[in-house]
Structure 1
């Protein structure tokens, strides 16, 4: 499975119609928010179709799609199939369509929407923007102020991204893969610091 961490856009023209694909990590649980943003930005466009695939907390892939008034099954499903074909998760694609005056028919719409998404995926691959998905879980640790510099050195050395909150103790919040969890546990063992799963 693969993820994308940044927005990729690509345009596709067919018979006067312009399809602009926005392939991006999904930040909102409600894709209609982003869809409405794009409708406002592209107020002359006739459709903003979307498809998304998200891995939930039970390790299940949740999928969603919208034809946005295109004929049923011609657009959102085609976009979703392109995401499936590339084995992408935790991402969405939004395709803005400007009508060019020529009806494409059901087959033409399926090809146009899938081509639009596939071209954005190819662009992301060519620019090395797709990464293998690594399952991560949220963890925290608490430390005294006098140990924090040593702990932050270990985290930085292992390229672990973290947030900190200051109170009587310092709370360090991290998102770790299994491999990172093992490495960090071994390095903190002598300090008797406990890592707690959130």
Structure 2
């Protein structure tokens, strides 16, 4: 697992006009190739009257799957530039279709490359991009006398509290990035003189959107 990566959480649409040709970029999050293909087909049906519906997608934490299509445009002038934008921005598990309505003026090879790449950038600007971090969901059980010290440690390290439960003791669950796990566990044990109970529950990716924490459990 990689420690973190960027992905599209909510897709968006961007548009530009170049020499009267209209380029519409539609971005969509996808989890597998089947979803990517389905999204591309639905875009083609929606824009059935367009000159071209070019596409690109990247799937996997390490971009194991990469595909692109020029859909009738001259080779390497549409799909590849679109794919290059996704890879250049470091965005994973995402697909994009750029729809072109031909305006009557040829753009040339360089013009097409710039137009398709720029359209994808416009689409990404209007999408919600998140950073997924690989973490451990860590359970901490302590008493009321020590919870303040633990909360101080978490605040110092900007560790997200996922949930909490206050009864005769205090139970909290936190999301700890992998690289910070051992240091945090050591700090909690030292601060509480070993009185706090720590338990690693599971591993997952999470992202923070404004004040909300979203977990992506497999």
- Report the TM range for the smaller structure's normalisation: 0.5 to 0.7
Size of the alignment, in residue pairs?
A: 164
TM-score of the aligned structures, taking structure 2 as reference length: 0.60
Whether 2:131 is the aligned partner of 1:132: answer yes
Task: Name the CA shift for 1:72/1:43 in 2 (closer, same or farther; >3 Å).
Answer: same
Q: What displacement does 1:194 show?
A: 7.5
User: Could you tell me which residue of structure 2 aligns to residue 29 of structure 1?
Assistant: 33
Q: Matches of 1:86 and 1:26 in 2, distance apart?
A: 16
TM-score of the aligned structures, taking structure 1 as reference length: 0.65
Identify the range of structure 1 (26-35 vs 44-53) with the bigger mean alpha-carbon deviation. 26-35
RMSD: 3.6
Could you tell me whether the CA contact under 8 Å between 1:61 and 1:89 is conserved in 2? no
Q: Matches of 2:8 and 2:33 in 1, distance apart?
A: 17
- Structure 2, unmatched stretches of 5+, are 138-159, 164-174, 189-195, 204-217
Q: Which one has the bigger strand percentage?
A: 2
User: Could you tell me which residue of structure 1 aligns to residue 45 of structure 2?
Assistant: 40
Q: What displacement does 1:120 show?
A: 2.2
Whether 2:5 is the aligned partner of 1:6: answer no
Matches within 5 A, 1:1-198: 1-30=5-34, 31-56=36-61, 59=62, 61-124=64-127, 129-135=128-134, 160=162, 178=178, 195=201
2:38 is paired with a residue of what secondary structure?
helix
In our comparison, the structure showing a higher alpha carbon Rg is 2
Q: Which one has the bigger helix percentage?
A: 1
Could you tell me whether the CA contact under 8 Å between 2:24 and 2:119 is conserved in 1? yes
